[in-house]
Amino acid sequence: MDSEDDFNSSMSGEDFEDQDSDLEIEDDSDFDMDQDDVGFETQDKDIKPTKQAHEVEFEVFDPEQIQAQQQVKIDEVSSILALSPEAAAILLRYLRWNKERLVDRMMEQREETLESAGLGQDAQTNPPKLQKIPGFCCDICCDDSPDMKTFAMKCDHRFCIDCYRQYLATKIQDEGEAARIRCPGEGCTRIVDSKSLDLLVTADLQDRYHTLLTRTYVDDKENLKWCPAPDCKYAVQCGVKSKDLNKIVPTVHCDCSHMFCFGCTLADHQPAPCSLVKKWLKKCEDDSETANWISANTKECPKCVSTIEKNGGCNHMTCRKCRHEFCWMCMGVWSEHGTSWYNCNRFEEKSGSDARDAQAKSRQSLERYLHYYNRYANHEQSAKLDKDIYLKTEKKMQQLQNTTGMSWIEVQFLDQASQALQQCRQVLKWTYAFAYYLARNNLTEIFEDNQKDLEMAVENLSEMFEKPIDQLQGLKVEMMDKTSYCTKRRIILLNDTAENLKQVQEYDVIIVGAGFSGISTLYRLRKEGLKAHIFESASDFGGVWYWNRYPGARVDSETPFYQLNIPEVYKSWSFSKRFPDHIELREYFAHIDKTLDLRKDVTFNSKVDSCTWHNDTSKWSVTTETGVKANAQFLVTATRLLHKPHLPSWEGQEIFKGAIYHSASWPSCSDLTGKKVAIIGAGATAVQIVQEVGKQASHLAHFIRRPSHCLPMGQRAWTVEEQRVWKAFFPSLFATGRNSHTGFPIERRDQRVQDVSPEEREAYFEHIWATGAFHFSMLNFNNVSTDREANLIVYDFWKRKVRERLTDSKKQRLMAPDEATYYFATKRTPLEHDYYEVLNQDNVEIVDLNKHPITAFTERGMRLEGEECERDFDVIVCATGFDSFTGSLTNMGLRNKNGVDIKDVWKEGVRTYLGITMNGFPNAFMVYSPQAPTALANGPTIIECQCDLVVQAIVSLRKDGKTTIEPTQQAEDEWKSKLNTMVENTLFPYTNSWWNTSNIPGKKAENQNYILGIPTYEKECRERLGKRQGFEIAA
């Protein structure tokens, strides 16, 4: 809904006299504009009132003014460089009107610049003219008439006048081109200048050409934008930079009366920053959360349960049946509104016992969303209703004049009240989107108090606005007072919010991520007395287990080892199964939160989009998409190993009319019962999905390139007695796990495969196969990953065990080939419980992508190479993996001390020292990171190991009174070389997988794992950190 005119139009100067002085602030230097960069000279303007905290400086220009400013630039460059105005214009458009850059380039590389701009090395232009050339034949139309007029620029590509005109008309009229129209000569890069074009085309085309040039000028300038209102001709200039859009909402007021955000060009959405608005609108598009939208339009009376439809903007409702008065928003008794203890606008978090119940928590999450969404939608609807009522009342205003003798000027208080209501409801609408993402703190309470005050002021004015027309004359003074008060409350709310957006929180340590890594880091830092804070993009704890919700999602690391070694947590928690599913794991994280009181130190719904090091303060500055800003001496990235989904690009994906799911973003309301489903991929996630969906779908096509070496999960339930016994041994179990190679209290058999007889080997294989989990790979002989012969012996046993469970010979050959497609256990070995039994089902087929690769998606499904008919599907599931190890780190705006983004630093390969620090990133640490034992170990165990190392480094540095710690480039080189040397005599380099990042096209394949085990890794890291070997330390 578009906003109306600026609020100043509905208020007199006296209306501001009693406002507090804290509503005025000095101009922020961040938004000062360099006039030369802007491209507009200072013009005399009427004196404006003092700029409020939520306001920005802007100017509005019409097309004539824009053209005049272009001409000023052109004349300046023409004079400086001694070029014709036409040549100067072409050069300026080539360099997007950056005069200083153009002059510098012309001084340093004149010939190259002229050539690149399309002028040729001789930029002097002669007056264009038409010529008759005896014997000339046009290369386009082959006309050789003796009296034919022709035209050519200095490039001497000559064509008849009719062909040249037709070419230019096509470019201008059909293609909308103007600034970079090239000579029609084949391969010629010369640009047609404006004088030549004016000579050749009609007056209508000349007008369109110059209009297009004006639009190009505006489009080329970052601080100049066209007003998005329909048919508006104005452009608005504003000096707010894109990097500041988390600090302020740059609302501008076009001369056409349209108010819009200069940052995103949407209608005014103060006080919510652009990134938050984008996030909110995307959330509101999710059908699973907006299915109850109807509840915002019709409700039942809380007393007599009669259905009531809202037909006005006021929220003070009176039931026609029982006369009960209540609030439309909270359904509470109206008489209680406005009291000190009653807060209709504030969402009250449910306390206590519900936290452990994941379903209850899910319901509360939906209730919380609907609380804010309904109020957001209500104000949008109320604003429209208020406007409709005003339009209907306008005729009665004329009657009021006739019956009371009031002048048209005297009845304008209704117009002023209408505009104030529209503006206030627009603000209130966006306050609820803004509040949804706010962390709970004292600033939140101040915001909600301002929100409540504005709500009450708007409801009072709205209720008066709906009075019968014959009562309005007597209410004029009171309505004017309430209009003024509404506007004041709106300004107060916007100013306070704008000021708070600019505030920066200070911490000792900032942590990014609220999964196992973030929680472990926060827990340890708290124990050391440090002030730490987590920023998390999701709306709750869990990390990967917040997002993993696909059918069959469960952990494949067994409990009790897959949990944190925190006694106060594990003593009061028991898992129900050896391998818990995603629901139970979210319950576990809720238990951790409740036990450790974590939430007070976490900001959810806040994706970090910038991490910048400041050399002058020796601190990291972090900003989020929601506008939160924080500084800290130390930064810890505790992000997920598998975070950024990888979705291959197939032709025609956009035209498929069914649903496409990636396992990382599974819709909560999906039901695949009776559907035709395709599952692309054969990794751990695909295995879990196939096991579940194969039992639901009418037909399932499992697309594989190479089968995974799946192992039996060995799932079973834990009894209460078992749990009680286990917990007595947890301290020793966790200690043993920490000192083991993989984080589980088990070790490989210290013999070669070939050292035992075939009979003993077979019996041992059967034993470790039957125990389930990763035992068949982790308890196997010590040369399986280094000896080809040994590896093939293990594969042969695995093949026999799988083929025993598959009944179809074709499926046997596909899922357990005669010859291994890669060495056993050199990529992840998924755990399954009835995967092969599901593959036996008649409704499940296996498609070999090596023989029949996907060529394109169609409206109904997909086409495969070698098949004549397309395949029809209702749902296509992409279990195609993730941009592992680095995907999350390169997606958060993390820059080194020289301002270079980590994605560019790592362009030629990952570089770390000890897997926890990086050269160029002082005081920055990583947990669950590349170049560590990460992918080859139990998650919580390696996480707690790295957390201890990181916290040790931070505490030691502060204890010694030092300021920064940063590894040297030489230390990084040595560490990378060490990791590469580790795998030289192993079978790992022969297998492409996410373990070595070769699953992403174009990404450099390289070893990311420290393969010597957790104890060796931890010992080496502690020694180097203790001696500060390979580090530069600054006081």
pLDDT digits (tens, 9 = 90+) for 801-818: 999 999 999 999 999 999
Q: In 585-733, at which residue ranges do the beta strands (DSSP E only) sit?
A: 602-603, 608-614, 619-624, 629-637, 644-645, 659-662, 676-680, 699-704, 711-712
Contacts of residue 124, Cβ cutoff 8 Å, sequence gap at least 6: 83, 84, 87
Structure confidence by residue, pLDDT tens digits, 730-757: 999 999 999 999 999 999 999 999 999 9
pLDDT in the model for residue 149: 92
Which of the 8 DSSP states describes residue 423? H
Per-residue pLDDT averaged across 104-120, rounded?
89
Per-residue pLDDT averaged across 604-614, rounded?
92
Q: Do residues 886 and 906 make contact, with C-beta atoms less than 8 angstroms apart?
A: yes
Find the catalytic residue in 254, 261, 314, 424.
314
d(CA 897, CA 979): 26
Maximum CA extent, the chain: 114
For 63, phi then psi, to 5°, come to -55, -35
Closest CA to 328 of 309, 310, 315, 318: 315
Per-residue pLDDT averaged across 18-22, rounded?
35
Closest CA to 816 of 642, 808, 386: 808
Structure confidence by residue, pLDDT tens digits, 837-875: 999 999 999 999 999 999 999 999 999 999 989 999 999
405 torsion bin: left (phi>0), alpha (psi -120 to 50), beta (else): left
Structural domains present in the chain = 282-289+343-502 (1.20.120.1750), 505-541+598-644+885-1034 (3.50.50.60), 647-709+825-880 (3.50.50.60)
Cβ burial of 24 (10 Å; 0-12, 13-18, 19+) is: middle
Closest CA to 558 of 541, 577, 571: 577
pLDDT in the model for residue 66: 92
Percent of the chain with pLDDT strictly greater than 90: 59
Q: What is the mean pLDDT of the chain?
A: 86
Q: Do residues 873 and 678 make contact, with C-beta atoms less than 8 angstroms apart?
A: yes
d(CA 1019, CA 758): 38
Q: Do residues 298 and 32 make contact, with C-beta atoms less than 8 angstroms apart?
A: no
Cβ burial of 479 (10 Å; 0-12, 13-18, 19+) is: buried
Look-up: residue for tokens 């050959």? 813
Work out the number of other CB atoms within 10 angstroms of the CB of residue 86: 20
Is the predicted pLDDT of residue 1033 greater than 60, yes or no?
yes
Is the predicted pLDDT of residue 288 greater than 50, yes or no?
no
Is the predicted pLDDT of residue 218 greater than 50, yes or no?
yes
Q: Do residues 144 and 159 make contact, with C-beta atoms less than 8 angstroms apart?
A: no
pLDDT in the model for residue 35: 36
Torsion of CA 927, 931, 932, 937, to 10 degrees: 100
CB hemisphere CA count around 87 (13 angstroms):
23
Q: Do residues 102 and 95 make contact, with C-beta atoms less than 8 angstroms apart?
A: yes
CB hemisphere CA count around 741 (13 angstroms):
14
d(CA 610, CA 617): 17
Per-residue pLDDT averaged across 685-710, rounded?
97
426: three-class secondary structure by DSSP = helix
Q: What is the DSSP string of 490-529?
A: HHHHHHHHHHHHH--EEEEEEEE--SHHHHHHHHHHHHTT
Q: Do residues 417 and 461 make contact, with C-beta atoms less than 8 angstroms apart?
A: yes
**What is the pLDDT confidence band of residue 1, given thresholds at 50, 70 and 90?**
very low
d(CA 341, CA 336): 9
Q: Do residues 324 and 301 make contact, with C-beta atoms less than 8 angstroms apart?
A: yes
| Cα 463 → chain centroid | 41
Contacts of residue 241, Cβ cutoff 8 Å, sequence gap at least 6: 30, 222, 223
362: three-class secondary structure by DSSP = helix
Work out the number of other CB atoms within 10 angstroms of the CB of residue 701: 21
Closest CA to 930 of 877, 1021, 996, 855: 996
pLDDT in the model for residue 12: 33
pTM to 2 decimals? 0.71
**What is the pLDDT confidence band of residue 364, given thresholds at 50, 70 and 90?**
low
**What is the pLDDT confidence band of residue 357, given thresholds at 50, 70 and 90?**
very low
Percent of the chain with pLDDT strictly greater than 70: 87
3-class secondary structure per residue, 519-581: HHHHHHHHHCCCCEEEECCCCCCCCHHHHCCCCCCECCCCCCCCCCCCHHHHCCCCCCECCCE
Active site residue 314: yes
d(CA 677, CA 689): 11
Which of the 8 DSSP states describes residue 916? T
pLDDT in the model for residue 388: 73
Helix axes 939-959, 730-738, angle to 10 degrees: 80
Is the predicted pLDDT of residue 943 greater than 50, yes or no?
yes
pLDDT in the model for residue 798: 98
d(CA 17, CA 126): 64
Is the predicted pLDDT of residue 395 greater than 90, yes or no?
no
Q: What does the buried/exposed string (b/e) look like for 536-561 if buried means 16 or more CB atoms within 10 Å of the residue's CB?
A: bbbbbbbbbbbbbbbbbbbbbbbbbb
Is the predicted pLDDT of residue 2 greater than 90, yes or no?
no
**What is the pLDDT confidence band of residue 11, given thresholds at 50, 70 and 90?**
very low
Is the predicted pLDDT of residue 100 greater than 50, yes or no?
yes
Structure confidence by residue, pLDDT tens digits, 52-92: 888 999 999 999 999 999 999 999 999 998 888 989 999 99
pLDDT in the model for residue 550: 93
pLDDT in the model for residue 519: 98
Which of the 8 DSSP states describes residue 257? S
Contacts of residue 721, Cβ cutoff 8 Å, sequence gap at least 6: none
Is the predicted pLDDT of residue 220 greater than 80, yes or no?
yes
d(CA 678, CA 606): 34
d(CA 814, CA 805): 13
26-40, 500-514, 763-777, 957-971: least confidently modelled range: 26-40
d(CA 501, CA 38): 26
User: Strands 602-603 and 532-535, how do they pair?
Assistant: parallel
Q: Do residues 1017 and 940 make contact, with C-beta atoms less than 8 angstroms apart?
A: no
Contacts of residue 153, Cβ cutoff 8 Å, sequence gap at least 6: 128, 183, 190, 192, 193, 196
Token code pair at residue 118: 């399309």
pLDDT in the model for residue 589: 97
Q: Which residues pair with 125 in a beta bridge?
A: none
Closest CA to 456 of 327, 331, 348, 368: 327
The dihedral sign for the CA sequence 92, 93, 97, 98: negative
**What is the pLDDT confidence band of residue 37, given thresholds at 50, 70 and 90?**
very low
10-14, 312-316, 367-371, 718-722: least confidently modelled range: 10-14
pLDDT in the model for residue 47: 41
Structure confidence by residue, pLDDT tens digits, 221-271: 889 999 999 999 999 999 898 878 877 899 999 999 899 999 999 999 999
298-302, 314-318, 430-434, 810-814: least confidently modelled range: 298-302
Q: Do residues 701 and 679 make contact, with C-beta atoms less than 8 angstroms apart?
A: yes
Per-residue pLDDT averaged across 1014-1034, rounded?
97
d(CA 876, CA 872): 10
Token code pair at residue 802: 């799988």
